[in-house]
Chain A
Amino acid sequence: MLSMLRRPFFWIITLAVVAFALAPVYGNDVSLRESLLLDALYITLASNLNLILGYAGYVNFGSIVFFGLGGYICVWLVNSYSWPLAPSLMVAGVCVSALALIFGLGILRLRGAFFALATIGVIEAVQAFVENFTPWGGSAGIYLSSEIFRPLGGPAHALWVIYFMMVAVMGLSLYLSYAIKTSKFGLGLLAIGQNEDAAAILGVPTPLYKALVYSVSAFLPAIAGGLYFFKSAFIQPSDAFDLSLSTEALVVGMLGGQGTVTGVAIGAFLYEELRGYLLTSSTFANFQLVVSGALLLLIVLFFPGGLMGFIYSRFPRTQKVLE
Chain B
Amino acid sequence: MTALLQLDKVSKRFGGLQAVKDLSFEVREGEIVGLIGPNGAGKSTLFNLINGVFAPDTGRITFAGTDITGEKPYRVARSGLSRTHQIVQPLTNMTVLDNCTVGACFGKENLPLARAQVAARDAIAVAGLEDRAHMLAMHLTIAGKKRLELARALAAQPKLLMLDEVLAGLNPTEVEYMIGVIRRIRDRGVTILMIEHLMQAIMSLSDRIVVLNFGQKLAEGLPGEVAQHPQVIEAYLGNPKLAEELQGSSAHV
Q: Residues of A at under 8 Å CB distance from B?
A: 183-184, 187-188, 190-191, 194-195, 197-206
- Determine if A187 and B113 form an interchain contact, defined as CB atoms under 8 angstroms apart: yes
Question: Which of chain B's residues has its CB closest to A201's CB?
Answer: B73
Bound-complex Cα distance A184 to B107 (A)? 12
Distance (whole angstroms) from the CB of B149 to the closest CB of chain A: 10
Contact of A191 (CB < 8 Å), options: B94, B107, B112? B94
Question: How does the 8 Å CB contact mask read for B107-121 relative to A, with 1 for contact and 0 for none?
Answer: 100001100100000
Q: Known interface pairs A191-B91, A195-B92. Does A202 touch B152 (Cβ–Cβ under 8 Å)?
A: yes
Instruction: Tell me, yes or no, whether B159 is within 8 Å of chain A by CB.
Output: no
- Determine if A199 and B113 form an interchain contact, defined as CB atoms under 8 angstroms apart: no
Contact of A201 (CB < 8 Å), options: B77, B93, B101? B77
- Determine if B92 and A187 form an interchain contact, defined as CB atoms under 8 angstroms apart: no
Bound-complex Cα distance A187 to B91 (A)? 11
Q: Known interface pairs A184-B113, A194-B94. Does A206 touch B74 (Cβ–Cβ under 8 Å)?
A: yes
Bound-complex Cα distance A200 to B51 (A)? 10
Segment 34-76 of B: residues with Cβ below 8 Å from A: 51, 53, 72-74
- Determine if A190 and B103 form an interchain contact, defined as CB atoms under 8 angstroms apart: no
Distance (whole angstroms) from the CB of A323 to the closest CB of chain B: 14
Instruction: Tell me, yes or no, whether B226 is within 8 Å of chain A by CB.
Output: no
Q: Known interface pairs A183-B113, A184-B113, A187-B101. Does A203 touch B106 (Cβ–Cβ under 8 Å)?
A: yes
Contact of B102 (CB < 8 Å), options: A183, A197, A199? A199
Instruction: Tell me, yes or no, whether B31 is within 8 Å of chain A by CB.
Output: no
- Determine if A203 and B78 form an interchain contact, defined as CB atoms under 8 angstroms apart: yes
- Determine if B91 and A195 form an interchain contact, defined as CB atoms under 8 angstroms apart: yes
A184, A187, A201 — most chain B CB neighbours (10 Å): A201
The 6 closest A-B pairs by CB, nearest first: A203-B106, A203-B77, A194-B91, A198-B89, A200-B73, A191-B102
Q: Offer 11 A-B interface pairs, CB within 8 angstroms, sorted by A.
A: A184-B113, A190-B91, A194-B92, A194-B94, A197-B89, A199-B91, A202-B103, A203-B77, A203-B107, A203-B156, A205-B74
Distance (whole angstroms) from the CB of A275 to the closest CB of chain B: 30
Q: What chain A residues lie within 8 Å of B113 (beta carbons)?
A: 183-184, 187
Bound-complex Cα distance A194 to B92 (A)? 7
B74, B93, B103 — most chain A CB neighbours (10 Å): B74
Bound-complex Cα distance A118 to B91 (A)? 26
- Determine if A203 and B74 form an interchain contact, defined as CB atoms under 8 angstroms apart: yes
Instruction: Tell me, yes or no, whether B21 is within 8 Å of chain A by CB.
Output: no
Q: What chain A residues lie within 8 Å of B72 (beta carbons)?
A: 200
- Determine if B51 and A201 form an interchain contact, defined as CB atoms under 8 angstroms apart: yes
- Determine if B91 and A198 form an interchain contact, defined as CB atoms under 8 angstroms apart: yes
Bound-complex Cα distance A198 to B92 (A)? 11
Question: Which of chain A's residues has its CB closest to B108's CB?
Answer: A203
Q: What chain B residues lie within 8 Å of A199 (beta carbons)?
A: 91, 102
- Determine if A195 and B156 form an interchain contact, defined as CB atoms under 8 angstroms apart: no
Bound-complex Cα distance A202 to B116 (A)? 13
Bound-complex Cα distance A188 to B89 (A)? 15
Q: What chain A residues lie within 8 Å of B103 (beta carbons)?
A: 202-203
Distance (whole angstroms) from the CB of B10 to the closest CB of chain A: 19
Q: What chain B residues lie within 8 Å of A205 (beta carbons)?
A: 74, 106
Bound-complex Cα distance A200 to B89 (A)? 12
Distance (whole angstroms) from the CB of A186 to the closest CB of chain B: 9
Bound-complex Cα distance A303 to B73 (A)? 36
- Determine if B105 and A187 form an interchain contact, defined as CB atoms under 8 angstroms apart: yes
Q: What chain B residues lie within 8 Å of A202 (beta carbons)?
A: 74, 77, 82, 102-103, 106-107, 152, 156
> With contacts A200-B73, A201-B77 known, what are 15 further pairs, Cβ within 8 A?
A187-B113, A188-B106, A190-B91, A191-B94, A195-B91, A197-B89, A199-B91, A200-B77, A201-B83, A202-B82, A202-B152, A202-B156, A203-B106, A205-B106, A206-B74
B51, B77, B112, B156 — most chain A CB neighbours (10 Å): B77
